[in-house]
A and B are shown apart, each in its own frame.
Chain A
Amino acid sequence: MEKTEKSAHATGGVLVKRGLAEMLRGGVIMDVVNAEQAKIAEDAGAVAVMALERVPADIRRDGGVARMSDPYLIEEIQRAVTIPVMAKARIGHFAEAQILEELQVDYIDESEVLTPADEAHHIDKWKFSVPFVCGATNLGEALRRISEGAALIRSKGEAGTGNVVEAVRHLRSITGDIRKITQADSAEIYAWAKNLQAPVELVREVAKEGRLPVPLFCAGGLATPADASLVMQLGAEAVFVGSGIFKSADPARRARAIVEATTHFKDPGVLVKVSRNIGPAMVGIEMDAIEVKLAERGW
């Protein structure tokens, strides 16, 4: 048997950060506000839970400043489940992120769902050994977040609405531009970088690989098993579900159904079975009826 010296072990590198996102592929990450919800999520087959103070639908309804969760609630959630625990920090609020790193959360979501703390700057995510996920509405935004150190990108969608239309727009925008860039010649890459306001090295990498350098997940407004199937077929590699589960009539059954639908997203037979008789979905909101568009937060 060969042995390896421990001095060589390195934590917090790009490979381990992006690696955890790779392991979450094909799974469902569920928003939870307390240990009881976290348990329901794990029982239903969630690959991870996202701890936040209030689900987006409640933030939308009640208003006020939305912040990082109380550390006590995060610790309670960490004790309740064995799957990865993510937590949200406000855009630009690196002190919240430092607290979350100290709590050893598994991923930090620098999230537009919370009230931004900085109107010009996102967190310098390279300074942390905990990986970050960030939202994006288009390819330029995704690449800017990656250049700041994000190890996972999700569509922003329009959280708390139960309406998938914005998530679909963001996904199609990102994957559509990736397809176009793979056809660009070397001179056109510079124009793409300029138009996307993104670093040319990252644009070149996307052109070569035909995908983002990190996994692309979908979030924002998913409420049904069919929604999960739709976005997986459009190129999402996993899904985040927020208000869609715990604002529905039967969270445990709906959570389970969305997990099954995310795995069997190409199998209409399974989708019929898991969608049948799972109780009412959250009511949802039309885009024209909303006052604050969360997706516009972030720069």
Chain B
Amino acid sequence: MKIGVLALQGDYLNHVAILNKLSVNPVLIRTPDDLDVDGMIIPGGESTTISLLLQSSGLYLPLRGLLNSGMAAFGTCAGMILLAKSVIDGRPDQVSFDAIDIVVRRNGFGRQVASFETELAVSGVGPMKAVFIRAPVVEKVSGEVEVLSSVNYSFPDSADRQVPVICRSGKVLVSSFHPELVGEDRLHRLFLERI
């Protein structure tokens, strides 16, 4: 089983460290030649920057092909945005892979001063510490997407809402927070189990 970690920008080395802890030695993916993998992690980072580098590196189309034909993937934060079906408040030229049927709002919780940490309850996993950094908000979940965890959040302009923060559909898993920042490996295990 070969796992790739998209290494264009962001905290990809934190994902590598978690995988190493699970005795998986991933490939860093920067060009189409690196794409000989069975599953792929898209890290946290700046989604607009990663989007641009996906196109200039020639990775976007082949990777989209692999994902649309069912390759396993795990995305955190920017990775969730890139795997989503559609993105609100992104740049107009921003690409996404349409690998999971969710609509996300970029920076939906607000600027950095609104970044937060919290304790989640995750279906089938248990309590989990979660760090949200200028995180996306899942606005809509459709089709066969399961929501494994959500947070109750008060937005400045509306009442409290339940916001999904971990979603899964088949082999594609996404979280709007960063398990890789706190050494949390249980979501990586979930991702690896379905490959």
In the complex the two chains form, what is the Cα distance from A129 to B133 in whole Å?
Answer: 13
Q: Do A106 and B53 form a contact, CB below 8 Å, given A23-B46, A24-B46, A25-B10? A: no
In the complex, the answer to whether B45 meets A25 with C-beta atoms within 8 Å is yes
B78 CB-CB contact with A under 8 Å: yes
Which A residues, 3 to 51, have Cβ-Cβ distances below 8 Å to chain B? 3-6, 8-13, 15-16, 19-20, 22-27, 42, 45-48
B120 CB-CB contact with A under 8 Å: yes
A104 CB-CB contact with B under 8 Å: yes
Determine the chain A residues whose CB is within 8 A of the CB of B7 once the complex forms. Answer: 26
CB closest chain-A residue, reference B14: A22
- Which of B66-74, B151-159, B187-195 is the contact stretch? B151-159
B89 CB-CB contact with A under 8 Å: yes
Select one of B11, B31, B89 contacting A23, CB under 8 A.
B11
In the complex, the answer to whether A47 meets B133 with C-beta atoms within 8 Å is no
A233 to chain B, nearest CB (A): 15
Which B residues, 34 to 62, have Cβ-Cβ distances below 8 Å to chain A? 44-46, 48-49, 52-53, 56-57
- If over half of B's interface residues share one DSSP class (helix, strand or loop), that class is named, otherwise mixed; here it is mixed
In the complex the two chains form, what is the Cα distance from A16 to B160 in whole Å?
Answer: 22
B9 CB-CB contact with A under 8 Å: yes
Select one of A1, A5, A47, A84 contacting B9, CB under 8 A.
A47
Determine the chain A residues whose CB is within 8 A of the CB of B78 once the complex forms. Answer: 23
In the complex, the answer to whether A4 meets B149 with C-beta atoms within 8 Å is yes
Which A residues, 93 to 118, have Cβ-Cβ distances below 8 Å to chain B? 101, 104-107
Residues of B in contact (CB 8 Å), total: 57
Determine the chain A residues whose CB is within 8 A of the CB of B148 once the complex forms. Answer: 1-2
In the complex, the answer to whether A11 meets B53 with C-beta atoms within 8 Å is no
In the complex, the answer to whether A13 meets B117 with C-beta atoms within 8 Å is yes
Determine the chain B residues whose CB is within 8 A of the CB of A4 once the complex forms. Answer: 118-121, 149-152
In the complex, the answer to whether A259 meets B49 with C-beta atoms within 8 Å is yes
A260 CB-CB contact with B under 8 Å: yes
B114 CB-CB contact with A under 8 Å: yes
A173 CB-CB contact with B under 8 Å: no
The size class of the interface chain A forms with chain B is 35 or more
Determine the chain B residues whose CB is within 8 A of the CB of A5 once the complex forms. Answer: 152
Q: Do A20 and B12 form a contact, CB below 8 Å, given A27-B49, A82-B89, A263-B53? A: no
Select one of B48, B57, B131 contacting A83, CB under 8 A.
B48
CB closest chain-B residue, reference A13: B117
In the complex, the answer to whether B147 meets A1 with C-beta atoms within 8 Å is yes
Determine the chain B residues whose CB is within 8 A of the CB of A19 once the complex forms. Answer: 115, 131, 133, 178, 181
Which B residues, 157 to 178, have Cβ-Cβ distances below 8 Å to chain A? 160, 162, 178
In the complex the two chains form, what is the Cα distance from A19 to B135 in whole Å?
Answer: 11
Chain B proximity mask over A67-110: 1 for CB below 8 Å, otherwise 0: 00000000000000011100000000000000001001111000
Determine the chain A residues whose CB is within 8 A of the CB of B131 once the complex forms. Answer: 15-16, 19
In the complex the two chains form, what is the Cα distance from A199 to B89 in whole Å?
Answer: 44
Select one of B9, B120, B150, B154 contacting A26, CB under 8 A.
B9
In the complex, the answer to whether B113 meets A101 with C-beta atoms within 8 Å is yes
In the complex, the answer to whether B53 meets A9 with C-beta atoms within 8 Å is no
In the complex, the answer to whether A27 meets B123 with C-beta atoms within 8 Å is no
Select one of A6, A15, A20 contacting B151, CB under 8 A.
A6
CB closest chain-A residue, reference B46: A47
Select one of A1, A10, A24, A26 contacting B116, CB under 8 A.
A10
B175 to chain A, nearest CB (A): 13
In the complex, the answer to whether A106 meets B112 with C-beta atoms within 8 Å is yes
In the complex, the answer to whether A263 meets B112 with C-beta atoms within 8 Å is no
A132 to chain B, nearest CB (A): 11
A58 to chain B, nearest CB (A): 27
In the complex, the answer to whether B134 meets A8 with C-beta atoms within 8 Å is no
A264 CB-CB contact with B under 8 Å: yes
Which B residues, 66 to 120, have Cβ-Cβ distances below 8 Å to chain A? 77-78, 89-91, 106-107, 110-120
Chain B interfacial positions (CB closer than 8 Å to A): 7-14, 30-31, 44-46, 48-49, 52-53, 56-57, 77-78, 89-91, 106-107, 110-123, 131-134, 147-154, 160, 162, 178, 181-182
Interface contacts beyond A22-B178, A47-B49, A82-B90: sample of 7 additional A-B pairs, CB < 8 Å, sorted by A: A4-B149, A9-B151, A25-B10, A27-B9, A42-B91, A47-B9, A105-B112
